[in-house]
Amino acid sequence: MKRCSKCGQLLPLDSFSKEPTYKDGYKTVCKKCTNEYSREYRARKKDRRKTLLEIKKREPEEYLLGGIKIYILNHAGDRECKFNVVSTSGEVFNTNNREKFFEFLRGKV
């Protein structure tokens, strides 16, 4: 018999997973508590993943400045640049560097 450190119940040893690094060879938390924790953890992780996907799907901020369209992606993806400029002549400028972005704008405006 062994007491679960999470729920405090006194349970038989077959209610605990084996863990050879512990003195008695069993984990300190019973299988039931471990499963409940795992289920809750997966649910939290799934909710967080949904939130991150929603952030990535947000529309970029768009500004018009003297014939130049400026797009700022607050949450740029892996292969996206945060700062994007498209002029009416079709010239495109992309960068993740804030200083280079403002330097480019100073030269155009």
| Residue that wins the pLDDT comparison between 84 and 20 | 20
- DSSP character at residue 82: S
CB 84 within 8 A of CB 92: yes
The identity of residue 43, as a single letter, is: A
Higher pLDDT, residue 36 or 61: 36
Query: What average pLDDT does the structure give for the chain?
Result: 82
Q: Taking CA 46 as the corner, what is the angle to CA 41 and CA 47, rounded to the nearest 5 degrees?
A: 100
> pLDDT category, 76, cuts 50, 70, 90?
low
Per-residue confidence (pLDDT) for residue 74, from 0 to 100? 66
The encoded tokens of residue 29 equal 């938390």
Domains of the chain, by residue range, sit at: 2-56, 61-108
Residue 109 confidence (pLDDT):
60
Q: What number is the average pLDDT over the span 49-77? A: 70
Total Cβ atoms within 10 A of residue 25: 11
